[in-house]
């Protein structure tokens, strides 16, 4: 794939990344909470099915990136383990959106660096500089403050969101351990190509057991309001687009730019969600979230400086 150097192209990719990330988050919230489609596992399975099909189209047909093959049974089992953790994180995140506003969901999600540092230490005994750990204090403190000042606080939703955030962090740590050798490294597009179908295999029995007759219920809903089908199709396609644009942003910008954009994305999502859903927010909650974002920025800066030494 050619690498256009135009600034306009880069701006377009970043705008697409923001739009798809925030769009899928808001649409998930709308479907699971406002619309009343209370089937987060089935919704996640729709996402993974779309990612399976569109990943194959993008790599095998459009050749956006060269196809990488799975080289061994061991590598396949490693990818399967990653896929299971990924499934758990997405399902728990979708469950939390049934009970929590997007703004609070994003505040909790910003604590990912804290869990990443914890899992990295527990699993690899990798220690960061003391200053890096110090920057995690405002990250956690901010969420504690935001929780205390959140008008729509829901304990079960909070636990699900914390668990989803921890699972996301665990996936990134496990991925760096399992696929660290040169022969096993896969770019994110190829990793999704293999992870998504495995995720569908995990999610199908979970959907059949825990969300019985969801297909029949969805079809019955569609007879009354056909828009539900379009919502699900668009939402699923958008879930793949999140991964595609994330890959393109990573490819066409620096790691530092990606960190800065990622930190800002959460804040943008909070503002947009409050404007759309008009969920009540408190000054205490916003101060807590702001403190968390500042902590994440300081953490990124501390890690960058530690690497430079």
Read off the pLDDT of residues 127-167 as tens digits, 9 standing for 90 and up: 888 888 999 999 999 999 999 889 989 999 999 999 999 99
For residue 3, give the H/E element and its range: none
Task: Give the confidence band of 43 by pLDDT, cuts at 50, 70, 90.
Answer: very high
Residue 249 scores a pLDDT above 50: yes
If pLDDT is split at 50, 70 and 90, which confidence band does 254 have?
low
Q: Quick one: pLDDT band at residue 300, thresholds 50, 70, 90?
A: confident
At 32 the pLDDT is 96
Of the chain, the percentage scoring pLDDT greater than 90 comes to 67
| Predicted local confidence at residue 261, as pLDDT | 79
Q: At 76, list the tokens.
A: 């396949």
**Separation of alpha carbons 88 and 78, rounded Å:** 16
167-218 pLDDT, tens digit each: 999 999 999 888 888 778 899 999 999 999 999 999 999 999 999 999 999 9
What pLDDT does 138 receive? 94
* Percent of the residues in the chain that have a pLDDT greater than 70, as a whole number: 96
pLDDT bin (cut points 50, 70, 90) of residue 7 is: confident
Q: Please tell me the distance from the alpha carbon of residue 116 to that of residue 264, in angstroms, as a whole number.
A: 19
DSSP 185-239: ---HHHHHHHHHHHHHHHHHHHHHHHSTTHHHHHHHHHHH-THHHHHHHHHHHHH
The Cα–Cα gap between 85 and 89 comes to: 6
Comparing CA positions, the residue from 205, 171, 144 lying closest to residue 80 is 171
Mean pLDDT of the chain: 91
Q: What's the pLDDT score for residue 304?
A: 80
Assigned token pair, 272: 């947009």
pLDDT confidence bin for 2, thresholds 50/70/90: very low
pLDDT top residue among 231 and 125? 231
Quick one: tokens of 40? 């987060």
For the stretch 75-99, pLDDT in tens is 999 999 999 999 999 999 999 999 9
Higher model confidence: residue 248 or residue 180? Answer: 248
What is the structure's pLDDT at 218? 96
Whole-number pLDDT of residue 279: 87
Q: For 281-306, what is the mean pLDDT?
A: 88
The pLDDT assigned to 101 comes to 94
Which one, of 279, 274, 290, lies nearest residue 152 by Cα? 279
- Single pTM value for the model: 0.89
pLDDT score, position 1: 46
Query: What's the pLDDT score for residue 97?
Result: 96
């Amino acid at each position: 794939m050619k690498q256009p150097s135009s600034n306009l192209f880069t701006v377009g990719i970043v705008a697409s990344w923001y739009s798809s990330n925030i769009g899928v988050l808001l649409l998930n919230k709308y479907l699971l909470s406002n619309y009343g489609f209370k089937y987060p596992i089935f919704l996640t399975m729709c996402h993974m099915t779309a990612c399976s099909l569109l990943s194959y189209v993008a790599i095998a047909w459009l050749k956006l990136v060269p196809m990488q093959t799975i080289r061994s049974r061991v590598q396949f089992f490693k990818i399967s383990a990653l896929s299971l953790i990924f499934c758990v994180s997405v399902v728990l995140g979708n469950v939390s959106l049934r009970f929590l506003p997007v703004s609070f969901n994003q505040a909790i999600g910003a604590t990912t660096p804290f869990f990443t540092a914890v899992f990295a230490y527990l699993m690899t005994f990798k220690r960061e500089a003391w200053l890096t750990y110090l920057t995690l204090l405002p990250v956690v403190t901010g969420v504690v403050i935001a929780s205390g000042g959140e008008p729509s606080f829901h304990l079960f939703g909070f636990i699900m969101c914390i668990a989803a955030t921890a699972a996301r962090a665990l996936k990134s740590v496990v991925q760096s351990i399992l696929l660290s050798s040169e022969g096993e490294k896969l770019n994110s597009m190829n990793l999704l190509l293999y992870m998504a179908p495995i995720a569908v295999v995990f999610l199908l029995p979970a959907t059949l057991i825990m969300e019985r007759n969801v297909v029949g219920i969805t079809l019955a809903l569609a007879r009354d309001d056909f828009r539900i089908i379009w919502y699900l199709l668009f939402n699923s396609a958008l879930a793949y687009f999140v991964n595609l644009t994330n890959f393109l942003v990573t490819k066409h910008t620096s790691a530092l730019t990606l960190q800065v954009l990622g930190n800002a994305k959460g804040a943008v999502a909070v503002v947009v969600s409050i404007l759309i859903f008009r969920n009540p927010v408190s000054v205490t909650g916003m101060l807590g979230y702001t403190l968390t974002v500042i902590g994440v920025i300081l953490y990124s800066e501390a890690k960058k400086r530690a690497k430079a030494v």
